[in-house]
Structure 1
Amino acid sequence: MDGCLNGGAQIRPDSGTPARELTSHLEEMYKKLPQSHPDNNDTKFIYANYLDGTFSDKAKSLLHTNYHAVEKMNTALNIKW
């Protein structure tokens, strides 16, 4: 799974709600989303014949994504004018 939770141009907290609380709530909601599983013949055919299997490295690199935290930069380039 992957995505930017409350990144730039995304959901802003309502007045009085701390941003960390909103981000935590969004992370919990994101974890509860259903994951799709290829269960029809066309999808199985594509995975078997073009992607070397459902959980192959090729399938993962082309179709799947992962979440990773991005550390905030503390440099002069990060100054807001």
Structure 2
Amino acid sequence: MKVTADRSRCMAAGHCAISAPDVFDHGEDGLVVVLDAEPGEQRRREVEVAEDLCPSRAIAILRTAAVTAPQEAGAPDSAG
């Protein structure tokens, strides 16, 4: 999971920093700052809450697909 914050949309409500203080904070200008752009799965729920509570929708979670190992050269593929 990757987390982004669009500072141009942020209205400094503070919900993100309260919901996920290890992931978000606010700068001197009051706008969101991402402290950890790739928080571990243990932080998923609090980051989702921050995304849901953000009134300006400045927080986004980029959900990544599971990585699979590349197929060995010369190995037959599933089609045969």
- TM-score interval for Structure 1 and Structure 2 normalised by the shorter chain: under 0.3
More helix by percentage = 1
More strand by percentage = 2
Q: Give the alignment's TM-score, normalised by structure 1.
A: 0.28
Greater C-alpha radius of gyration: 1
Q: Give the alignment's TM-score, normalised by structure 2.
A: 0.28
